[in-house]
A and B are shown apart, each in its own frame.
Chain A
């Protein structure tokens, strides 16, 4: 198999009160890292992990830097594995991944727009880009537009995958 670039991100803790913490996200990242190391034989130092501790406060900048790193170092023969475990939400027809410092009323400035990831990985040289997003909306108070948000988010993901 071609060399993998692995980026595993979990967002277990959120600052804003109306965004529930997801402590299991840390376990998700650790479990996935362990299986990559123990079963797939990948060196641990070849895996970039964020949020392996339940109390980790992974801010937007951390995630953006990690994504940028992947874009910078990826070569054509690489397979990029990007895994994210945490909240997702949408606002004004734009889908976002939430981080510790996300403020729901300022999504463009405090969350990670899907289109940002799309743009970063569009220029990524990796031949195969594998995105695994384990996101749900149950912990965010979506209000009346819960269904609409979900559909918007899904649409954004489909666009991301087809264009990424």
Chain B
């Protein structure tokens, strides 16, 4: 079967239904199919996004009286945080914004992955297996680099597959350095959550629960878009400040203030393809404040604002 139709069939079988419902809305149908087709395409390194256009008044609903597969309560309410729709973790350092990035694959027997951020910043080594580069890592020790260095340590050298300048893959994900992504120049680490083992999962959980807010920039990129109206409502209930809202840029920034000198900014941004949540910290943010706001709580707080619906290409 084709990828698109297989997920369409799955949705109509009942997999896209909410718990205790027998009627599938058009929005739920398209959302289910889109998320899974895009996820499949990303996992298989293909470009494929279903394109939906609808002009209608009211709601188109499919009755599915004989749904074969119903989501369980546990599946419908996954534990916090949920990564069902999480596509990328993106680590970014702002001063690399206009620089180029390279990944070298020389001497695969000894150096299997050396990523250098920025031609003018050759000392900012993200990962290297060589002693010489390790020294530089220690000397530089940027926080972004640290995350990736630790993460790559979970990767077996035999699993590394060179894909040329700018990227390489490993068993549970992919690392890219690029200057043409939606976010400018980025080190993009794509994690496939269905393939990670307990050790990696534990590490990621540690990042999410304790450390994510400590990076200069930390992106969570989802398959869905964020609903800015819902984010605004959440902010009102939580007494968070709206710092900036740019409807044209589809960007909303809010601020969580711990004290007069502490603040934490969350920026929500919808691109054509993704909904991104960026966590950034103020310069004076202290550890005590950070400890009060675990990252997984932040993610969980705004996950309800993730909504179905986006435009894209054609299947």
Contacts and interface: CB of A to CB of B under 8 A. Distances in A.
B6 A31 contact: yes
Secondary structure at chain B's binding surface: helix, strand, loop or mixed? loop
A1 B4 CA distance: 24
B194 interface: no
B53 A162 contact: yes
B157 to A, nearest CB: 34
Contact of B12 (A24, A35, A130): A35
A130 B1 CA distance: 21
A85 interface: yes
Contacts of A46: none
B66 A40 contact: yes
A89 to B, nearest CB: 13
Contacts of A64: none
Nearest to B1: A27
A39 B2 contact: no
A36 B12 contact: yes
Contacts of A162: 53, 55
Contacts of A31: 1, 5-6, 9
B64 A39 contact: yes
B315 A136 contact: yes
A136 B315 CA distance: 6
A148 interface: no
B2 A154 contact: no
Interface in A24-53: 24-25, 27-28, 31-32, 35-36, 38-41
Given A32-B8, A154-B313, A38 B66 contact: yes
Contacts of B60: 79, 128, 130
Nearest to B24: A40
A41 B68 CA distance: 12
Contacts of B8: 32, 132, 134
Contacts of A153: 314
Nearest to B314: A154
Contact of B64 (A28, A40, A135): A40
A158 interface: yes
B9 A150 contact: no
Interface string A124-164: 00001010101110000000000000100110011001100
B67 interface: yes
Contacts of A150: 313-314
A136 B64 CA distance: 29
A1 B61 contact: yes
A159 B315 CA distance: 17
B65 interface: yes
A38 B9 CA distance: 11
Contacts of A40: 12, 62-66
Interface string B61-87: 111111110000000000000000000
A16 to B, nearest CB: 21
Contact of A128 (B6, B56, B63, B315): B56
A134 B1 CA distance: 11
B180 to A, nearest CB: 17
16 contacts: A1-B62, A24-B2, A31-B6, A32-B8, A35-B13, A39-B13, A39-B14, A39-B66, A39-B67, A41-B65, A130-B60, A134-B8, A135-B314, A150-B313, A157-B53, A157-B314
